[in-house]
């Protein structure tokens, strides 16, 4: 479903009030009954059904009457709630063109009042490719509709937490600006995905830098788990930046060595094929050097070194367990509780919606969808 934020300027205070009521109702309901939405929204003169019809027209909610008359949020509705919150916080004032799309996320340019261009990443676990996997591995049994939103929020929270922690320890990552629901705002990297690069002035130097990052991550107790040419950015000066962190795990993870070796293998294979680099294989009687393949067992690891920083950023051990179960396909019906949204929803008190300056939001978004220069 294409994100058309131009619709945002036409949504009223009541529209957002009802949209948030659906979100709050989904803490305990897969499909929120219409009468419950009306009770939560508590519109002064009623009219909840009329508002729901408007939200349904813009595909912000989905109507389901198979068991009883009710509604649930769509990803587009979740997008609008996150974007409105970011605008209210003053994080950005305009949304520009889409600059990236993947099986797990969409990325857009956004800009703030002073014209600074940033990147907004909307996590979308559960889109078509994931649903094809779900039909085979049955990640969430029959409770898929809200859990996808919940897991997308966890993915965003994890990425934001890891990005901040890595930045504080000097790793080349984007600057983490803010996070809300499934949305992460970060600095825009001026470069290209490595997969798009056909030639390098110093491929050996870039290769050593990238392998050094994998090793350094492990020394800090972390493994990227998806460190490949798609998640490495490189600029005109051949400066490397890492992106995409929702799948990172600790070196104490039971599959840590497998993930580490897979990351290393991806880099070796890509540089060997794309830039025709040849590599020496290390043997038992030869110490590892720059041309040898790094060994997981030879790295001095400090597992849990970043736990304090990650906890301070809001990503808890329970969140890690939930998202790891999703990654490994072990999420059961009751493993992911919708009540976990309490802390997120508490930031959006339905009673406080009367004081939201939505007219100001509309004026801030006058040039929304306009290409950001």
What residue ranges in the chain does DSSP mark as E strands? 32-33, 61-64, 70-73, 94-101, 105-111, 117-123, 176-180, 183-187, 192-193, 222-223, 232-234, 240-242, 249-250
As beta bridge partners, residue 122 has: 106, 183
* Segment holding 166, helix H or strand E: helix 147-168
Catalytic residue among 14, 15, 79, 226: 226
Q: What is the dihedral of CA 149, 155, 157, 163, to 10 degrees?
A: -150
* Of 274, 247, 263, the residue nearest 296 (C-alpha): 263
Task: Tell me the C-alpha distance between 188 and 292, whole Å.
Answer: 34
As beta bridge partners, residue 272 has: none
Structure tokens at 187: 């600095």
CA 350-313-84 angle, 5° bins: 35
What count of other Cβ atoms lies within 10 Å of the Cβ of residue 204? 13
* Of 58, 62, 248, 241, the residue nearest 155 (C-alpha): 248
284 catalytic per annotation = no
Our measurement of the distance from residue 267's CA atom to the centroid of its chain's CA atoms, rounded to an integer in Å, reads 24
Task: Tell me the C-alpha distance between 173 and 344, whole Å.
Answer: 26
As beta bridge partners, residue 184 has: 121, 179
Structure tokens at 120: 């907004």
Positions marked active-site: 226
């Amino acid at each position: 479903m294409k994100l058309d934020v131009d619709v945002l300027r036409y949504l009223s205070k009541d529209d957002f009030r009802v949209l948030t009521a659906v979100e709050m109702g989904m803490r305990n309901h897969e499909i929120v009954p219409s009468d419950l939405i009306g009770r939560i929204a508590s519109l002064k003169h009623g009219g909840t059904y009329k508002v729901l019809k408007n939200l349904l027209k813009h595909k912000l909610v989905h109507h389901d009457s198979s068991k009883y008359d009710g509604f649930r949020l769509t990803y587009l509705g979740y997008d609008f709630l996150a974007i409105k919150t970011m605008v209210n916080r003053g994080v950005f004032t305009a949304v520009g063109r889409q600059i990236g799309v993947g099986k797990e996320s969409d990325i857009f340019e956004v800009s703030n009042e002073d014209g600074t261009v940033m990147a907004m990443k909307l996590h979308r676990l559960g889109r078509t490719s994931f649903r094809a996997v779900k039909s085979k591995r049955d990640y969430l049994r029959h409770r898929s509709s809200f859990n996808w939103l919940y897991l997308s929020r966890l993915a965003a929270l994890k990425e934001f937490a890891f990005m901040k922690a890595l930045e504080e320890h000097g790793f080349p990552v984007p600057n983490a600006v803010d996070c809300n629901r499934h949305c992460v705002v970060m600095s825009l990297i001026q470069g290209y995905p490595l997969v798009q690069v056909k030639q390098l002035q110093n491929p050996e130097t870039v290769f050593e830098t990238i392998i050094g990052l994998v090793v350094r991550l492990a020394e800090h107790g972390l493994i990227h788990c998806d460190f490949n040419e798609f998640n490495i950015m490189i600029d005109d000066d051949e400066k490397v930046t890492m992106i995409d962190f929702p799948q990172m795990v600790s070196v104490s993870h039971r599959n840590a060595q497998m993930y580490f070796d897979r990351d290393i293998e991806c880099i070796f294979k890509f540089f060997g094929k794309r830039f025709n680099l040849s590599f020496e294989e290390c043997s038992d009687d030869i110490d590892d050097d720059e041309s040898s393949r790094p060994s997981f067992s030879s790295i001095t690891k400090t597992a849990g070194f970043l736990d304090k920083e990650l906890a301070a950023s809001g990503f808890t051990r329970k969140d890690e367990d939930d998202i790891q179960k999703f990654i490994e396909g072990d999420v059961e019906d009751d493993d992911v509780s919708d009540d976990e949204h309490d802390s997120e929803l508490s930031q959006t008190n339905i009673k406080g919606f009367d004081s939201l300056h939505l007219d100001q939001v509309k004026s801030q978004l006058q040039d929304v969808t306009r290409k950001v220069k």
